[in-house]
Structure 1
């Protein structure tokens, strides 16, 4: 696989408005303190996007039925502007998040520029409707929202719905199938989204899955692609440092292989890293493994 050189800008955007303030807000600072910039040989200063975590509330919004809707929209606008600036400077936007709702800032920003595909690595489908979500946390419905399913306030920012089309989304590593059925989530498998769930990956092997993903991306003819790396796609045995745990998952090698494959296309505009909770990583070894994996994917 040919390595493609990316001019990386690091963006710190540790919002937990779509989840809860239990530690994930420390993701960005922990990976940066752990030497991520040095490992990636990034010289330029980290761009800090102001987060509005101080206004966190578990009250559901009367219109969207989601928590923190006004703050989330304000934060998404700030993050979106940052993403557009970085990409317009022909840089790669490596975005260290808190939770997956940061995609509500990223994907509208990309849609305003053109047509982008999305490689979505996540243990969960993230496809709930607000009324089916037990918590109103947008982190369990972000993929539904960015593909245009859900309340107008969140799905149609600047009249850009959908921020990404179903046929331009590749979902990798889902393993919450039983849970989604139990709670009545919309079924992601009944859409145009191409799903490579964990069972499929185990059956085919990662080499074949990566080949399939790259073929799919090449056939899309989009202006570029975004990688979303929710660290809970990693096996629960190697990364229990997440708030919603499910058994099984990918190895660091498998996740790194996929990210490296997508980077090798030269089409990636950026990557979002989310959901890792440093407070559950007592000795810091998981953070170091995530840093190493990301650095190796770019090398």
Structure 2
């Protein structure tokens, strides 16, 4: 890890997910506290910890945008943005704990207000979906489309800043949902799309270096990392809302993140979707915490 100090920021929103059949509401809102229980915070030793709790969960489907909780997500995104844009400092790295993937909206809105950024999107799905294709109406399955300016202006054009991240400045890595209808919008976009199979074919180092080269050649102000834990192999991380067979191993995700985080233009990372309700004994959480904190352990606690 480079010499940046660390801010830990908790955005425990579950507004982007449909109600589950095993709980009153999606359990991803407990993610920050759950990781803390297993030593994530103490091992990271952040300089500061900030938290914004989301509006109350509901299943409201917004007719205008076609997504659930649209107004509440916009309200929350603006609060995220106000906190984050004031934390931008070249001497700090932000670790942002969700929540579901809808927190990407507020995070990228903040980045747009700061400057021009790239996005390295690590996810077992593309999340590049239109409301009419969604079976749930949940923003957590549309977040990449929204932040790159695709969809209703209520979500894509907050404060008239559409798009928050340009498609051509985005790498979408690790998808393993190969349904033809689902993939069609992504393949027609300007996003650099590299599914799991192609990532392994090209090689992790080559892909990450190409992304970092793009950041430098375009003279972008920095980049942000999205890590949905469902990008990991289902055998080591099944505690997610939408499971798919296969996925990245811990050595692979370690290689990716070390290459990214050690770059001076790395602004931060968001971690999403791990649902404590699906891992009540922490069997899958413990190795996840160990892996991620080990990436940062070169900076001793002070």
1:195 alignment counterpart: 193
Q: Residues 172-187 of structure 1 correspond to what in structure 2 (within 5 A)?
A: 172-178=173-179, 181-182=180-181, 184=182, 186-187=184-185
2:291 paired with 1:293: yes
Per the TM alignment, residue 237 of structure 1 is displaced from its structure 2 partner at its CA by 0.9
2:52 alignment counterpart: 49
Contact 2:230–2:240 (CA<8 Å) still a contact in 1? Answer: yes
The CA RMSD over aligned residues, in Å, is 1.6
Q: CA separation in 2, counterparts of 1:272 and 1:258?
A: 15
User: What do residues 194-235 of structure 1 show as CA deviations (whole Å, max 9, x unaligned)?
Assistant: 112101023233333333333333333200100110000001
1:246 alignment counterpart: 244
Q: CA separation in 1, counterparts of 2:105 and 2:33?
A: 21
2:112 paired with 1:111: yes
1:261 alignment counterpart: 259
User: What do residues 155-189 of structure 1 show as CA deviations (whole Å, max 9, x unaligned)?
Assistant: 000110000001110111011122xx24x565212
Q: CA separation in 1, counterparts of 2:45 and 2:131?
A: 41
May I ask how many residue pairs the two structures share in their alignment? 291
Contact 1:15–1:25 (CA<8 Å) still a contact in 2? Answer: yes
Per the TM alignment, residue 283 of structure 1 is displaced from its structure 2 partner at its CA by 2.3
1:125 alignment counterpart: 126
1:211 alignment counterpart: 209
Q: Residues 3-42 of structure 1 correspond to what in structure 2 (within 5 A)?
A: 3-20=1-18, 21-42=25-46
Q: CA separation in 2, counterparts of 1:185 and 1:256?
A: 27
Contact 2:215–2:222 (CA<8 Å) still a contact in 1? Answer: no
Structure 2 gap ranges (5+): 19-24
2:227 paired with 1:229: yes
TM-score, structure 1 as length reference: 0.92
TM-score, structure 2 as length reference: 0.91
Contact 1:14–1:98 (CA<8 Å) still a contact in 2? Answer: yes
Structure 1 gap ranges (5+): none
Contact 1:147–1:162 (CA<8 Å) still a contact in 2? Answer: yes
User: What do residues 123-162 of structure 1 show as CA deviations (whole Å, max 9, x unaligned)?
Assistant: 1010111121111100111000000000011000011000
Contact 2:34–2:276 (CA<8 Å) still a contact in 1? Answer: yes
Q: CA separation in 1, counterparts of 2:29 and 2:204?
A: 31
2:223 paired with 1:220: no
Q: Residues 70-109 of structure 1 correspond to what in structure 2 (within 5 A)?
A: 70-88=71-89, 90-109=91-110
